[in-house]
Amino acid sequence: MTTTAAGKRARAKAEYDAFLAVCPSRRLLDRISGKWVTLILAALGGGSPRPDADCAGDPRPMRYSELSRLLAGVSQKMLTQTLRSLERDGLVTRTVTPTVPVTVTYELTELGLSLHHMMRGLKTWAETHMDDVLAHRATYDTPTD
């Protein structure tokens, strides 16, 4: 066992990494920080994943193709990947109806809906304060002659 200063530092770092790996907040951040996660939650939650207002309403199930159309910028790969990971975590359900061709719908679970509600708080903060942040950023970036 190492008892040098360098060894102690390395061990402290390893322990901290282990702590972060199980920290609930850290895990939540990792979960929601994917580029498309919040947008899919917003879409399925009846929120506004688009600038046009014609998609607001109540939470409702949506088909793969509908999500694909609503989130105009998403690739098939990322849409599928993100939906699968949300399903894995019990945030959405995936339902396959064996029509020809097949119909697949996605819907928020209670857990997913609860997360979506939490995100509203985040959205509110963003709409209230992000302008301030952006203004600070612009000032900071302005060369002071």
Partner DNA sequence: CAGTATCCAGCTAGATACTG
Partner DNA sequence: CAGTATCTAGCTGGATACTG
Positions that interact with a copy of itself (CB under 8 A): 12-13, 15-17, 19-20, 24-29, 31-33, 38, 50-51, 71-73, 87-91, 111, 114-115, 118-119, 121-123, 125-127, 129-137, 140-141
Give CA 144 to chain center in angstroms.
Answer: 38
Is 88 among the residues that bind DNA (CB under 7 A)?
Answer: no
116: left (phi over 0), alpha (psi -120 to 50) or beta: alpha
Contact 91, 115 (CB under 8 A): yes
Shortest spacing between CB 135 and a copy of itself, in angstroms: 8
Q: Which does 93 bind (CB under 5 to 8 A by kind): a copy of itself, DNA, none?
A: none
Contact 95, 110 (CB under 8 A): no
DSSP state of 59: -
Is 78 among the residues that bind DNA (CB under 7 A)?
Answer: yes
The piece of 50-58, 68-76, 110-118, 136-144 that touches DNA (CB under 7 A) is: 68-76
Residues 51, 101, 121, 143: which binds DNA (CB under 7 A)? 101
CA-CA distances (angstroms) from residue 61 to 21, 27, 52, 65, 74? Answer: 33, 26, 20, 12, 19
Is 98 among the residues that bind DNA (CB under 7 A)?
Answer: no
Q: Which does 40 bind (CB under 5 to 8 A by kind): a copy of itself, DNA, none?
A: none
